[in-house]
Structure 1
């Protein structure tokens, strides 16, 4: 199996507190952490005027996003938290000045397409980008690891009342999420003329002797 070109994940925060990091206080803590986490890796984020969140209806600050999650929750889901993380080695093929814009566009394509494929209207959401470093392997230097965190409500708009949304792996929702993300990331690399498939090609099995008879290796 070839190495994945993108990793995605979804989780949810329920209203009920069942332990550390859960419930309303858990969500608020996560939002605050996400807002200020990248100060270490992004000098611009050290400026309080820096726009950390990309607002698509949920807000520009962790407090505003929390209030909207609270107002738009479903019976069981206070908020959905997604992560979209393209493979660092493929993102390195993208010119540095274009990476942020690519990841923003990719995030929005994935969110909108996922809900559309599920038969829902696209809900309000907000997201931000984080930058980290990969762990060095085999003496290679660490790579930049760009990824986005997306916050979505537990419900979506409809012509009547808002509808609850549940993401369930047993119903194939995680597979759909991965397929949509992989499709859009591949398309965006192709649109930019980036030769990325060579990094995902399976090594060809070499046969030294074309006349090799497998019967010689297995008893009958």
Structure 2
């Protein structure tokens, strides 16, 4: 089974306190983690803390982001929390000096393309780029994206919901896959596909490798 090109995960925080990790307290804890950690065992360096959040209208500090999410929450969604995590083996093919910019560019393209495909304008959002190592010691650059529960339309703000029957989650993953493919084509050229096949032959690929928790334990 071929390993996924990219793992894109979308979840949300409810405005109501429904156990650990939910409500305002749950969102605040998640935002502080994104701001100050690279993973559960590694604090972000002082250098990385500078301009930590990429602010696209939602805020540049966890307190500001939380306040704006509260202002723009819907009845059921306080904030959307996305993860965009390209495959580490493919990212290793990208020249090191271009990797961070590529992941950030893909993240922004995914956000914009997804909302456009759903008929919305792009909402204010913010994201953090994390740099961690996998269990195998590979660099795993990935982003955590925070978006409000409401999304802008021509007529005003409307709730954004993800309906599996409408295949909204499949659309999200398709867009992430396509945007990363195009980014690799622009950066490396089409030969990355051949190089990927060679890597798969050289390494044992786990059958559940498209599961986010295999790459990104939480």
Q: Would you say how many aligned residue pairs link Structure 1 and Structure 2?
A: 196
Give the aligned partner of residue 212 of structure 1. none
- For residues 115 and 94 of structure 2, the distance between their equivalents in structure 1, rounded to whole angstroms, comes to 28
Cα deviation, residue 42, structure 1:
4.8
- For residues 132 and 88 of structure 1, the distance between their equivalents in structure 2, rounded to whole angstroms, comes to 10
- Cα distance change, pair 169–183 in 1 and its aligned pair in 2 (3 A): same
- Residue 110 of structure 1 aligns to a residue in which SS? helix
1:196 matched to 2:192? The reply is yes
Give the aligned partner of residue 148 of structure 1. 143
Equivalent of 2:163 in 168, 173, 197: 168
Contact 1:12/1:80 (8 A) holds in 2: yes
1:43 matched to 2:45? The reply is yes
Q: How does 1:24-103 map to 2 (within 5 A)?
A: 24-38=24-38, 40=42, 42-45=44-47, 50-103=50-103
Cα deviation, residue 200, structure 1:
4.1
Give the aligned partner of residue 16 of structure 1. 16
Q: Which of the two has higher C-alpha Rg?
A: 1
- Aligned residues: CA RMSD: 1.8
- Cα distance change, pair 46–187 in 1 and its aligned pair in 2 (3 A): closer
Give the aligned partner of residue 180 of structure 1. 175
- For residues 3 and 143 of structure 1, the distance between their equivalents in structure 2, rounded to whole angstroms, comes to 15
Cα deviation, residue 192, structure 1:
1.8
- Residue 156 of structure 2 aligns to a residue in which SS? coil
Structure 1 gaps, min length 5: 137-141, 204-220
- CA deviation profile, 1:175-205 (whole Å, cap 9, x unmatched): 11111111111111111234221214887xx
- For residues 45 and 27 of structure 2, the distance between their equivalents in structure 1, rounded to whole angstroms, comes to 26
- For residues 190 and 160 of structure 1, the distance between their equivalents in structure 2, rounded to whole angstroms, comes to 37
Structure 2 gaps, min length 5: 202-218
Q: How does 1:197-212 map to 2 (within 5 A)?
A: 197-198=193-194, 199-200=196-197
